[in-house]
Chains A and B, each alone.
Chain A
Amino acid sequence: DTEVTQTPKHLVMGMTNKKSLKCEQHMGHRAMYWYKQKAKKPPELMFVYSYEKLSINESVPSRFSPECPNSSLLNLHLHALQPEDSALYLCASSQPAGGLFRANEQFFGPGTRLTVL
Chain B
Amino acid sequence: SQQGEEDPQALSIQEGENATMNCSYKTSINNLQWYRQNSGRGLVHLILIRSNEREKHSGRLRVTLDTSKKSSSLLITASRAADTASYFCATDKIQGAQKLVFGQGTRLTINP
Given A42-B104, A45-B99; A97-B41 close (CB under 8 Å): no
Total number of A-B contacts with CB less than 8 angstroms?
78
A residues less than 8 Å from B33 (CB atoms): 103, 105
Determine the residue in chain B with the shortest Cβ distance to A88: B40
In Å, the complex CA distance between A29 and B70 comes to: 30
* Number of A residues, CB within 8 Å of B: 33
A111 interface residue per 8 A CB criterion: yes
Are B42 and A97 in contact, with the CB atoms below 8 A?
A: no
Known: A103-B48, A108-B43, A110-B42. 5 other contacts (CB 8 A): A45-B100, A101-B52, A105-B48, A110-B41, A113-B40
Interface residues of A in 44-93 (CB under 8 A from B): 44-45, 48-50, 55-56, 88, 90, 92
Q: Is the interface of B mostly helix, strand, loop or mixed?
A: loop
Q: Which of B13-21, B61-69, B76-84, B89-97 is near enough to bind chain A?
A: B89-97
Q: List 14 A-B contacts (CB under 8 A).
A: A31-B98, A40-B107, A42-B88, A43-B88, A50-B97, A55-B96, A96-B97, A97-B92, A97-B95, A97-B98, A100-B95, A101-B50, A108-B44, A110-B42
B111 interface residue per 8 A CB criterion: no
A residues less than 8 Å from B105 (CB atoms): 42
Are B42 and A103 in contact, with the CB atoms below 8 A?
A: no
User: How would residues 30 to 51 of chain B score, 1 for a CB under 8 Å from any chain A CB and 0 otherwise?
Assistant: 1101010000111111001011
In Å, the complex CA distance between A96 and B95 comes to: 9
Cβ distance A103 to chain B, nearest Cβ, rounded Å:
4
B residues less than 8 Å from A103 (CB atoms): 30-31, 33, 48, 50, 92, 98
Determine the residue in chain A with the shortest Cβ distance to B9: A40
A106 interface residue per 8 A CB criterion: yes
Cβ distance B100 to chain A, nearest Cβ, rounded Å:
7
Residue of B101, B102, B103 ringed by the most chain A CB atoms within 10 A: B102
